[in-house]
C-alpha cells in the first residue's frame, strides 16, 4: 500500500469526528445525559450505603439519617431482645424496614428525610412503634408515641438518640400459651398495613414483612387492613412459645368502599372540628372505648359531614373525637347520636343513618395534661369543673384497659376552681401506666368527660 493511501486513511479516521462536532460543523456536541432518578418508594437507584430521598428538585441519593435507642422492660428496665421497631409518618404509614433489637435491647433504624439544597434534612416528624413477644405493644392507647424530628439529627453519620427514642414495653399479665405469626403482605407499598390475629396486632414494614406477637395457641385467622388495600385473609395454627412462619397476605384488589356520616358538635365553645376514625372491631375494648385504627381510615377536620374512602371489607367501630382536640363523644345516654356504632363493610359503600354528637371535653389539669406524667405516693386527680353537673364519676384504668378503681358521687366546687379527688383504690403497681377519666353527671345522666387520650400517668 502506498504512503499516499495510508495518509488519506489516517486523515479520515482522525479528522472525521472533528468535522462532525466542530471545526466547520454547526452541530453542537451531544448533551450529557443526567443519571437516572432514584426511587423513594422502591429505594432503588442509589449506591450501597445510601438512600433515595426527596429534594426540592426531585430525588437524590444521600447517607441515611439513623435513629438509635433501646427497648426495655418497663417494670425491671431489663433490655428486650428480639423486639421489632419500625418508623411511622404522620399518617401512621410505616416508612422504614424493621429493626430487630439486639441482646442489649438496642436498635438502629434508617429514617426517611427530605433534603434541602445542601442535603440537610428538612423538619418532619416520625414516630416509633415497637412489638415483642410477652409485652403489650407500643404505642397503644392511651399511651402515645412522642414525635421525633429528623432535622435534629447530628454528627457523622447523622444520628438521633434521646429519651424519645427509648421505648419501655409493659409485660403482659399472662403471655403463657401464646406464640407468634410471621409472613409478608404481598401488595405494592405495604408499609403500615395493620395485621390482626386473635385480637393481637402487628404492622408490616416497608417491604411487607410482619410479625404478630402474643397470639393464643390454636387456630387463628389473620387479616390485614389499610386504606385502599383489600387483602385475602389467611389461616394459621399457633403453638405456644413458637413462631408460625410464612403466613402471607395477598392483595385481591383495591378497597373502594366509602363510609360516610355526619357529626354534630354541641356545647363546645373551644372546639370547632374533630376527627372520625374506624377502629378494627377485633381490637376494640368496650371498657375504655378504644381500638386500633389502620392507616388511612380517618377523616380529619370534621365539623359536619364526613367520609372515609378506601375502606377494606371487615368489621369496625366508628369513633368520633377519639383524639386530643378539646372534644369528646357526647356520653349523654338520654339522647340519640351518642351510642357506640359497630359496622360491617362488605365492599359496598355505606352511609351511616346514625349521626354522632360531640361535645366539649372536661380539661385535665393533672396528672397527664400534656402527656404521661410520673406520680408517686397517693395521686390527686384534678380536672375542670363543669358548672352544670350534679356530681362526677372518677375511674382509673391500667394500661391493659382494666378498671382498677371507681368513685361515684364526687361533688365539685361549683365555681371557677378545679375539681380535685385523691386516689383511694388498691395499691398501684410501680412502673405501670394508668389513666384517670372523669365524667360529669346531671340528673343521673353523663353529660361530658375528660378526653380519651389524656390523664395518663406512670406510678413510681
DSSP-assigned letters across all residues of 15-27: HHHHHHTSSS--P
pLDDT at 13: 39
Q: Which CATH class is domain 364-459?
A: mainly beta
Residue range(s) of every CATH 2.60.40.4070 domain in the chain: 364-459
pLDDT at 93: 81
* CATH domain 257-360 topology: Immunoglobulin-like (2.60.40)
Q: Are 255 and 230 in contact (CB under 8 A)?
A: yes
The grid coordinates of residue 355 equal 349521626
pLDDT at 17: 40
Q: Are 369 and 382 in contact (CB under 8 A)?
A: no
Residue range(s) of every CATH 2.60.40.10 domain in the chain: 257-360
Q: Which CATH class is domain 61-254?
A: mainly beta
Residue range(s) of every CATH 2.60.40.1120 domain in the chain: 61-254
CA distance 247 to 213: 13
Q: Which residues are registered as beta bridge partners of 73?
A: 169
pLDDT at 26: 53
> Order of strands, edge to edge, in the sheet holding 200-203?
200-203, 194-197, 218-225, 234-238
Instruction: Name the phi and psi angles at 79, rounded to 5.
Output: -65, 150
Torsion of CA 290, 173, 199, 323, to 10 degrees: 20
Answer whether the bond into residue 157 is a cis peptide, omega within 30°.
Answer: yes
3-state helix, strand, coil in the chain (%, to 5): 5, 45, 50
Written as tens digits, the pLDDT of the chain (460 aa) is 444 443 344 343 333 343 333 444 455 544 444 456 898 877 899 999 899 999 988 999 999 999 999 999 999 999 999 999 999 988 778 889 999 999 999 999 999 999 998 889 999 999 999 999 999 999 988 898 989 999 999 999 999 999 999 999 999 988 899 999 999 999 988 999 999 999 999 999 989 999 999 999 999 999 999 999 999 999 999 999 999 999 999 999 999 999 999 999 988 776 789 999 999 999 999 888 889 999 999 999 999 999 999 999 999 999 998 888 899 999 987 777 778 899 999 989 999 988 899 999 999 999 999 999 999 999 999 999 988 889 999 999 999 999 999 999 999 988 789 999 999 999 999 999 999 999 999 999 999 999 999 999 999 9
Q: Are 367 and 455 in contact (CB under 8 A)?
A: yes
232-269: burial string, b at 16+ Cβ within 10 Å, e else: eebebebeeeeebeebbbebeeebebebebbbebeebe
Sign of the Cα torsion 171, 174, 179, 185 reads negative
The grid coordinates of residue 196 equal 390482626
Q: Are 37 and 51 in contact (CB under 8 A)?
A: no
pLDDT at 54: 93
Amino acid at each position: 500500500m502506498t504512503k499516499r493511501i495510508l495518509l488519506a486513511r489516517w486523515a479520515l479516521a482522525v479528522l472525521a469526528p472533528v468535522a462532525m462536532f466542530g471545526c466547520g460543523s454547526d452541530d453542537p456536541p451531544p448533551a450529557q445525559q443526567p443519571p437516572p432518578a432514584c426511587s423513594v418508594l422502591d429505594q432503588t437507584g442509589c449506591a450501597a450505603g445510601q438512600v433515595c430521598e426527596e429534594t426540592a428538585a426531585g430525588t437524590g441519593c444521600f447517607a441515611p439519617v439513623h435513629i438509635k435507642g433501646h427497648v426495655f422492660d418497663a417494670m425491671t428496665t431489663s433490655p428486650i431482645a428480639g423486639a421489632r421497631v419500625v418508623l411511622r409518618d404522620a399518617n401512621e404509614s410505616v416508612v422504614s424496614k424493621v429493626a430487630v433489637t439486639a441482646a442489649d435491647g438496642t436498635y438502629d433504624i434508617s429514617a426517611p428525610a427530605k433534603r434541602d439544597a445542601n442535603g440537610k434534612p428538612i423538619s418532619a416528624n416520625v414516630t416509633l412503634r415497637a412489638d415483642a413477644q410477652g409485652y403489650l405493644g407500643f404505642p397503644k392507647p392511651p399511651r402515645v408515641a412522642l414525635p421525633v424530628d429528623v432535622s435534629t439529627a447530628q454528627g457523622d453519620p447523622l444520628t438521633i438518640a434521646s429519651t424519645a427514642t427509648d421505648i419501655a414495653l409493659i409485660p403482659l399479665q399472662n403471655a403463657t400459651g401464646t406464640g407468634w405469626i410471621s409472613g409478608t403482605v404481598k401488595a405494592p407499598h405495604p408499609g403500615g398495613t395493620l395485621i390482626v390475629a386473635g385480637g393481637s396486632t402487628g404492622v408490616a414494614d416497608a417491604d411487607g414483612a410482619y410479625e404478630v406477637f402474643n397470639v393464643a395457641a390454636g387456630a387463628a385467622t389473620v387479616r390485614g387492613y389499610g386504606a385502599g388495600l383489600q387483602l385475602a385473609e389467611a389461616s394459621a395454627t399457633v403453638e405456644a412459645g413458637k413462631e408460625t412462619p410464612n403466613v402471607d397476605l395477598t392483595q385481591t384488589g383495591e378497597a373502594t368502599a366509602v363510609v360516610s356520616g355526619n357529626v354534630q358538635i354541641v356545647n363546645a365553645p373551644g372546639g370547632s372540628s374533630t376527627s372520625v376514625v374506624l377502629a378494627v372491631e377485633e381490637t376494640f375494648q368496650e371498657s375504655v372505648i378504644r381500638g386500633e385504627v389502620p392507616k388511612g381510615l380517618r377523616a380529619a377536620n370534621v365539623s359536619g359531614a364526613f367520609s372515609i374512602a378506601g375502606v377494606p371489607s371487615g368489621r369496625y367501630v366508628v369513633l368520633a373525637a377519639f383524639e386530643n382536640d378539646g372534644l369528646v363523644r357526647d356520653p349523654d345516654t338520654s339522647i340519640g347520636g351518642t351510642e357506640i356504632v359497630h359496622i360491617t363493610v362488605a365492599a359496598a359503600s355505606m352511609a351511616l343513618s346514625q349521626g354522632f354528637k360531640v361535645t366539649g371535653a372536661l380539661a385535665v389539669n393533672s396528672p397527664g395534661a400534656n402527656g404521661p406524667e410520673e406520680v408517686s405516693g397517693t395521686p390527686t386527680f384534678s380536672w375542670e369543673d363543669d358548672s352544670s353537673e350534679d356530681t362526677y364519676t372518677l375511674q382509673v384504668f391500667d394500661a391493659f384497659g382494666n378498671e382498677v378503681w371507681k368513685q361515684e358521687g364526687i361533688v365539685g366546687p361549683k365555681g371557677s376552681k378545679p375539681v380535685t379527688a385523691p386516689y383511694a383504690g388498691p395499691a398501684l403497681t410501680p412502673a405501670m401506666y394508668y389513666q384517670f377519666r372523669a365524667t360529669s353527671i346531671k340528673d343521673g345522666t353523663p353529660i361530658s368527660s375528660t378526653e380519651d387520650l389524656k390523664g395518663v400517668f406512670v406510678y413510681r
